[in-house]
Structure 1
Amino acid sequence: MEKPKIHPYIPILIGVISISLSAIFVKLAEADAGVIAFYRMLFSILIMSPLFFYKFKGEIKILTKRDWIFSSIAGIFLAFHFILWFESLNYTSVASSTVLVTLQPLFAFIGTYLFFKEKLSLKTIVSGIIAISGSVLISWGDFRVSGNALYGDMLALIACGLITGYLLFGQDVRKRISLITYTMVVYSISTICLFFYVLIKGESFGPYPSMTWVWFLLLAIIPNLLGHTLFNWAVKWVSTNVISVAVLFEPIGAAILAYFIFLEDLMTTQIVGGLIVIAGIILFVLDIKILKKFFKKSA
């Protein structure tokens, strides 16, 4: 496999910053969850279409039956991830929802072990536990044991499992086809799935206030084309585990933005939890050998 022109961690970092805006745009949009998800995906493929048809459409011919099956599953998983996560934001806080939806390592560590036989090192397990503990602490004061918030929390947790499945199936297909072709195929399947979901649910495709259309477009450009597409690029060279752990940064950015935009309180537990998340990610990303050399030189 050829080496990437830039280190995969750089696009992953940009992707994490981009997706941190997702929950904010969703809460600002005045529409049902399925509709928001549909327009997010539709605008994404419309923006990508000129490049795809100009340069990459011929690559569709090399897709195998296995590629189509895996891409279809990934697209359906992505569609319902958005539906459930966006719906969860109607019942629980931005902090709680983003924390639960980014607990992907719990699913990714198991998934990559079962499907790709990737060994879980002690460093991976320890750093994952640290980062997940920090994520839970971020919204500790906001978790509730009953009512609407619990329902929202459950929706976010299921959405978390779905996005991990989407990445796992993508990890297999992306090793054989280009980023643009894979993204176009998966996003198109996801859009079709969402279209029928909105139709069956009887939700309205419009009209909406002008600012809601702006939020739809921004969801497509920033979290999708800058966020998820960059993850799709990176997953060719790194494990799903790397992306899943890095995504734990999202609740930090989302919680801070929610504090200023929606006046959602940012508690001490959320601040401390954010620092723990960062510590877990640093432990996961840095090479233990490099750390040992550093401490030896310091001594």
Structure 2
Amino acid sequence: MSFGGTNSPIRTPVTTPPRCPLPESERTGGPQRRPDVPVTSVTSAGSVHPMGLVSGLRSQSNAALGVLAILAATACWSSGGVLAKNADLPGIVVAFWRLVIVAIVFGVIALVLRKPITLLMVRRSLLGGLLFGVNLAVWFEALRHATVGIATVTAALTPVLGLLIGRGFLGERITALALGCALGAIAGVVLFVVPGFAASGTKPLGLGLAFAAIGIWVCYLFVTKKAREGVGTIEYLFCMAAVAAISLFPLLALSDHGIAPPTKGVGWLVALAIIPGCLGHGLLAWAQPHVPLSTSGILLQGEPVGAALAGAIFLGEVIGPIQGVGLLVAFVALAVLTRASATRTDEAEPATA
């Protein structure tokens, strides 16, 4: 809320004598404030209090740190494909043990911070945890049959699929801007995937699994849209990881690998759990209160770009000129779509007192 700016009119003080001869500071509960500074930042002499300046600088500092935290979270998630690829294990194995490690970490944090886990929290996490676990297993398996860049950039179409599902099942209106952004994102992904499909050794199975992961992830987002109401971040992440791991256990037991812990790629698995699984989500959870939704959404669209670059740097995956153009087109289209969606969400929310 604005208290007025430099162009605000100056009100003439009322000259009617008060009914009681008390000092003005006692009658009004404090000194009269200037319209361009917060109440807590004005002293009895009318000057700006240092604490007010500190508060304003602290707010600006938190906003800047929030942006840096989201960029760091994006970098953490961008590393996931490279870490999973280096683990060189079946997708179900990577997903299960990643979830186990994440559940242990957030379980310990919840215990130390004395955050109780209730039965209601677990019930709210059941369907979402099942979908989350299956999504991870399918996604990590896709990485075994496709490059990190192709699998990740394909998965960037999640907002587009969410737009179509929202129109078909929720009756949400698709604006001309949203439609244009969706078409632009699809065109960008096609420009990135098609030229590198044959040259990179990507198999149709890998591309199909990447698209399947998109569908499962969108279902997860719709299912958990209201599941987090009244549930803290630490508790939610613990329940989600624990339920997802339990959901994958039967599939792991039936797999060729079995339930025995892996003997290779353990370091990559731990890094995969800690960096994207714990650190990435923790940074985002801290940053969200300090950064506007539209800003955070745009910054997070940098994940496929970062993942493609990480694949090129650490795995030697080739990004040709046409693919670079496609990556840029997809990023811009998804960023505009994300900002437009966030703006509509902010406008739809009722004002609170």
Match of 1:293? none
Give the match for residue 188 of structure 2.
134
Question: 2:77 aligns to what?
Answer: 19
- How far did residue 35 of structure 1 move? 1.0
Q: TM-score, normalised by structure 2?
A: 0.67
Q: Distance in 1 between the 2:257 and 2:268 partners?
A: 18
Q: Of residues 243, 249, 274 in structure 1, which corresponds to 2:302?
A: 249
Give 1:197's aligned amino acid: L
Unaligned runs of 5+ in 1: 291-299
3-state DSSP class of the match of 1:134? Answer: helix
The correspondence for 1:219, drawn from 269, 272, 276, is 272
Q: In structure 2, do the counterparts of structure 1 residues 192 and 224 end up closer, same or farther at CA, with 3 Å as the change threshold? A: same
Contact 1:30 1:208 in 2 (8 A): no
AA partner of residue 125 (structure 1): L
The change in CA–CA distance for 1:124 and 1:14 in structure 2 (over 3 A counts) is: farther
Which has the higher mean CA deviation after the structures are superposed, 258-267 or 32-41? Answer: 258-267
Cα deviations across residues 206-234 of structure 1 (Å, max 9, x unaligned)? 3423xx11111111112112335666788
Superposition pairs of residues 272-291 of structure 1, within 5 angstroms: 272-285=325-338
Confirm or deny: 8 A CA contact 1:37 1:82 kept in the other structure: yes
Kindly indicate whether the alpha-carbon contact (under 8 Å) linking 2:98 and 2:273 is maintained by their aligned counterparts in 1.
Answer: yes
CA distance in 2, matches of 1:131, 1:143: 18
* 1:177–1:112 Cα change, 3 Å: farther
- Please give the secondary structure, in 1, of the residue aligned with 2:316: coil
Q: Deviations over 1:187-213 (max 9, x none)?
A: 11011122222112131433423xx11
Is residue 130 of structure 2 the alignment partner of residue 72 of structure 1? no
Structure 1: how far apart are the matches of 2:237 and 2:320?
A: 38
> Superposed, which structure 2 residues align to 1:36-185 within 5 Å?
36-55=94-113, 57-58=115-116, 60=118, 63=121, 68=123, 70-113=124-167, 118-143=172-197, 149-185=203-239
1:73-123 CA deviation, whole Å, 9 max, x = no partner?
Answer: 111111111111111122222222112222101321134445665543333
**1:186 aligned to 2:244?**
no
What's the counterpart of residue 263 of structure 2? 208
Which has the larger helix fraction? 1
- State the alpha-carbon separation in 1 of the partners of residues 332 and 111 from structure 2: 43
Query: Which stretch of structure 1 is more off in the superposition, 121-130 or 163-172?
Result: 121-130
Closer/same/farther in 2, CA of residues 260 and 271 from structure 1, 3 Å limit: same
1:11–1:280 Cα change, 3 Å = farther
How far, CA to CA, are the matches of 2:107 and 2:128 in structure 1?
A: 20
For 1:253 and 1:148, the matched residues in 2 are separated by 19
Q: Distance in 1 between matches of 2:250 and 2:162?
A: 29
What secondary structure is seen at the aligned counterpart in 2 of 1:91? coil
Q: Quick one: structure 1 residues 47 and 59, their matched pair in 2 at CA, closer, same or farther if it must change by over 3 Å?
A: closer
Deviations 1:156-197 (A, max 9, x none): 100111112222222211233111111111111011122222
- The amino acid across from 2:225 in the alignment is Q
How many residues align structurally?
A: 275
Task: Report the equivalent of 1:297.
Answer: none
Give 1:46 deviation, angstroms: 1.1
16, 19, 28: which one aligns with 2:86: 28
- Matched to 1:37, the amino acid is A
Distance across 2 between alignment mates of 1:10 and 1:112: 31
Distance 1:16 1:108, change over 3 A: farther
Aligned-CA RMSD value: 3.4
Looking at structure 1, the residues matched to 104 and 172 of structure 2 have their Cα atoms a distance apart, in angstroms, of 36
Offset from partner CA, 1:116-157 (integer Å, 9 cap, x none): 65543333332233233222322221235xx97111110110
User: Are the aligned partners of 2:312 and 2:318 in contact in 1 as well (CA < 8 Å)?
Assistant: yes
Q: Distance in 1 between matches of 2:110 and 2:276?
A: 19
Q: Contact conserved, 2:159 with 2:334, CA < 8 A, in 1?
A: no
**Counterpart of 1:270?**
323
1:227-265 per-residue CA deviation (whole Å, 9 max, x = no partner) reads 35666788999989x85x765533322222222222221
Distance 2:148 2:130 in 1: 24
Q: Deviations over 1:20-56 (max 9, x none)?
A: 1111001100322111111111111111112212335
- Percent identity over paired residues: 24
